[in-house]
Amino acid sequence: MKRILLFLITVVGLVNSSMGQAATTPASSIGNDPMTSFYIVVGFLFVVVILVLLVALYMLQVLNYMVKQATKERSERLGIAYKEEPSFWSNLWNKSNDFIPLEKEKDIMLDHNYDGIRELDNHLPPWWTGLFYGTIVFAVLYLVFYHVSDTLPSQLQEYETQVAQAEDQARKLKASNPVAIIDETNVAIVTDANALADGKTTFLSNCASCHRKDGGGDIGPNLTDDYWKHGGSIQDIFRVVRHGVQGTNMIAWEGFISPDKMQNVSNYILTLKGSNPENAKKPEGDLYVPKETPSDSTKVQASL
Ligand code: HEC
What are 180-221's pLDDT values in tens digits?
678 888 899 999 999 999 999 999 999 999 999 999 999 999
Percentage of the chain surpassing pLDDT 70? 84
Same domain, residue pair 156 and 221 = no
- The C-alpha atoms of residue 16 and residue 124 are separated, in whole angstroms, by 38
Does 126 map to a domain?
Answer: no
What is the per-residue pLDDT for 34?
A: 77
How far, in Å, is the centroid of ligand 1 from the Cα of 193?
A: 23
Determine which residue's CA is closest to atom 39 belonging to ligand 1: 207
Same domain, residue pair 200 and 285 = yes
Same domain, residue pair 202 and 292 = yes
Same domain, residue pair 197 and 299 = yes
Q: What is the mean pLDDT of the chain?
A: 85
Same domain, residue pair 197 and 149 = no
- Of 37, 52, 78, the position where a domain reaches its end is 78
Q: Rounded to whole angstroms, what are the CA distances from 33 to 19, 24, 126, 177?
A: 13, 6, 46, 17
pLDDT tens for residues 78-122? Answer: 888 888 778 888 888 888 988 888 888 888 899 888 998 989 988
Query: Do residues 261 and 198 make contact, with C-beta atoms less than 8 angstroms apart?
Result: yes
Same domain, residue pair 68 and 165 = no
pLDDT tens for residues 266-299? Answer: 999 999 999 999 999 999 999 998 876 555 444 4
How far, in Å, is the centroid of ligand 1 from the Cα of 267?
A: 14
- Of 49, 78, 107, the position where a domain reaches its end is 78
How far, in Å, is the centroid of ligand 1 from the Cα of 250?
A: 5
Does 229 map to a domain?
Answer: yes
Percentage of the chain surpassing pLDDT 90? 54
Does 59 map to a domain?
Answer: yes
- Of 144, 176, 208, the position where a domain reaches its end is 176
> Parallel, antiparallel, or unpaired: how do β-strands 286-287 and 227-228 relate?
antiparallel
Per-residue pLDDT averaged across 155-183, rounded?
Answer: 87
What is the per-residue pLDDT for 106?
A: 87
Does 184 map to a domain?
Answer: no
Same domain, residue pair 172 and 200 = no
Does 268 map to a domain?
Answer: yes
Up-side HSE of residue 263: CA atoms within 13 Å toward CB? 20
What is the per-residue pLDDT for 292?
A: 63
Same domain, residue pair 199 and 279 = yes
Same domain, residue pair 229 and 279 = yes
**pTM attached to this predicted model:** 0.50
Same domain, residue pair 198 and 283 = yes
Determine which residue's CA is closest to atom 40 belonging to ligand 1: 207
Range of the domain at 226: 193-303
Up-side HSE of residue 160: CA atoms within 13 Å toward CB? 5
* Higher local confidence (pLDDT), 14 or 41: 41
What is the per-residue pLDDT for 173?
A: 83
- Is the pLDDT at 142 greater than 50? The verdict is yes
Query: Do residues 219 and 249 make contact, with C-beta atoms less than 8 angstroms apart?
Result: yes
SS3 for the chain, per residue? Answer: CHHHHHHHHHHHHHHHHHHHHHCCCCHHHCCCCHHHHHHHHHHHHHHHHHHHHHHHHHHHHHHHHHHHHHHHHHHHHHCCCCCCCCCHHHHHHHHHHCCCCHHHHHHHEEEEEECCEEEECCCCCHHHHHHHHHHHHHHHHHHHHHHHCCCCCCHHHHHHHHHHHHHHHHHHHHHHCHHHHCCCCCCCCCCCHHHHHHHHHHHHHHHHHHHCCCCCCCCCCCCCCCEECCCCCHHHHHHHHHHCCCCCCCCCCECCECHHHHHHHHHHHHHCCCCCCCCCCCCCCEECCCCCCCCHHHHHHHHC
Same domain, residue pair 206 and 276 = yes
Ligand 1: which residues within 6 Å by Cβ? 206-207, 209-211, 219-221, 223, 228-230, 237, 240-241, 245, 248-250, 253, 257, 265, 269, 284-285
Does 135 map to a domain?
Answer: yes
Determine which residue's CA is closest to atom 11 belonging to ligand 1: 220
What is the per-residue pLDDT for 27?
A: 45
How far, in Å, is the centroid of ligand 1 from the Cα of 237?
A: 9
Per-residue pLDDT averaged across 221-228, rounded?
Answer: 95
Does 102 map to a domain?
Answer: no
- Is the pLDDT at 151 greater than 90? The verdict is no
Count: domains in the chain: 3
Does 88 map to a domain?
Answer: no
Q: Which of 47, 36, 41, 39 is nearest to 9 (CA)?
A: 47
